[in-house]
Amino acid sequence: MATYKVGLNLEHGIGTPRAVSGVATGVSGIIVNAVKGPVNLATLVTTLKEYERIFGDVSPTGSTSYEQVAAFFADAVSAQLYVTRIAHSTAAKATKTFVDRLGSPANTLRIDAKSEGAWGNSISVAIENHNILSTTLGILITAADVSATLVSTGGLEVGSDVIFYNGTNTEYRRLTVVDHASKKIYWTTGLTYGYAVATSTVKSMEFNIKVYYLGELVETHTGLSMNDSVSFFVEKVITATTSEYIAAVDLKTVDTAYTDLPAVATVTALLTGADGLTDVVGTDYSGVKANKTGVYAFDTVTDLFRICCPNPLLSDAVPATAYAALVQALLDYAYSRQTVQVYADVPYNTTIANAVIFAALFEGRQLAMPQVWGTADTENETWVAPSSAVMGACVRKDRERGVYKSIGNERLSYFVKLKYDADVDECEILNNAGIIPLRKETGRGIITWGGRTRSADATWRFVDEAEYWNYVGASLLTILRGYAFEPNDESLWQRVLQNAAAFFAAEQQKGALYNPLNPGGAAYALQMDADNNPGSQIAEGIAVLDAEYTKVGTAEKIIIRVKNTPGGFSVTAG
Listed in sequence order, the residues at least 6 apart from 138 whose beta carbon sits closer than 8 Å to its beta carbon are: 149, 150, 151, 183, 197
Could you tell me the sign of the dihedral formed by the alpha carbons of 530, 536, 537, 538, in that order? positive
CATH code given to domain 28-86+278-464: 3.40.50.11780
Q: Per-residue pLDDT tens for 473-500?
A: 999 999 999 999 999 999 999 999 999 9
Mean pLDDT over 373-377 rounds to 95
DSSP 366-384: EEE-EE--EES-TTT---B
Percent of the chain whose predicted confidence (pLDDT) is above 90: 91
What own/partner pairs with CB < 8 Å and gap ≥ 24 does 136-139 have?
A: 136/197, 136/200, 136/201, 136/202, 137/195, 137/196, 137/197, 137/200, 137/202, 138/183, 138/197, 139/197
Show me where the domains of the chain are located.
Answer: 28-86+278-464, 95-131+206-269, 134-204, 496-574
Residue 4 is predicted with a pLDDT of 63
Q: Give the tens place of pLDDT for each residue, 407-446.
A: 999 999 999 999 999 999 999 999 999 999 999 999 999 9
Report the 10 Å Cβ neighbour count for 39: 22
The values of phi and psi at residue 94, to 5°, are -65, 145
Residue type, 129: N
Please check whether residue 118 is in contact with residue 196, taking contact to mean a CB–CB distance below 8 angstroms: no
Contact, 118 vs 277, CB < 8 A? no
pLDDT > 50? residue 334: yes
Mean pLDDT, range 368-389, rounded to an integer: 95
**pLDDT at residue 16 greater than cutoff 90:** no
Least confident interval from 6-20, 116-130, 241-255, 282-296: 6-20
* Residue 15 pLDDT exceeds 50: no
* Cβ pair 258, 161 in contact under 8 A: yes
Write the CB contacts of 408 (distance below 8 Å, at least 6 apart in sequence).
436, 448, 449, 450, 451, 554, 556
Express as a percent the part of the chain with pLDDT over 70: 96
* 3-state SS assignment for residue 152: coil
pLDDT at residue 18 in the model: 47
Residues 6+ apart with CB under 8 A from 178: 153, 156, 157, 158, 160, 184, 185, 186
SS3 assignment, position 212: strand
Q: Give the pLDDT confidence score for residue 34 in this predicted structure.
A: 97
Q: What order do you get walking across the sheet with 81-85 strand by strand?
A: 43-45, 81-85, 28-32, 306-308, 341-343, 364-368, 453-454
**By the 8 A CB rule, do 39 and 85 touch?**
yes
Mean of pLDDT values over 378-401: 95
What pLDDT, on the 0 to 100 scale, is given for residue 468? 96
Task: Confirm if 86 and 32 have CB atoms less than 8 A apart.
Answer: yes
* Region of residue 381 (phi > 0: left; psi between -120 and 50: alpha; otherwise: beta): left
Query: What is the model's pLDDT at position 181?
Result: 97
Across-strand partners of 211?
125, 219
> Which residue blocks in 29-185 are alpha helix, DSSP H?
48-55, 65-76
- The answer to whether the beta carbons of residues 286 and 294 sit under 8 Å apart is yes
Q: How does residue 571 score in pLDDT terms, banded at 50, 70 and 90?
A: confident
Average pLDDT, integer, range 502-514:
95
Rounded distance between C-alpha atoms, residue 407 and residue 423, angstroms: 19
- Inform me whether the pLDDT recorded for 14 exceeds 50: no
Average pLDDT over residues 156-180: 96
| Topology of the domain comprising 134-204 | Elongation Factor Tu (Ef-tu); domain 3 (2.40.30)
Instruction: Tell me the CATH class for 95-131+206-269.
Output: mainly beta
- Rounded to an integer, the average pLDDT of 288-297 is 98
- Average pLDDT over the chain reads 94
pLDDT score, position 574: 56
Residue 514: name the closest of 471, 550, 483 by CA.
550
Angle (CA) 71 463 73, round 5°: 15
Q: Are 342 and 307 in contact (CB under 8 A)?
A: yes
Q: For 51-108, write each residue's pLDDT tens digit.
A: 999 999 999 999 999 999 999 999 999 999 999 999 999 999 999 999 999 988 999 9
What is the rounded average pLDDT of the residues 196-206? 96
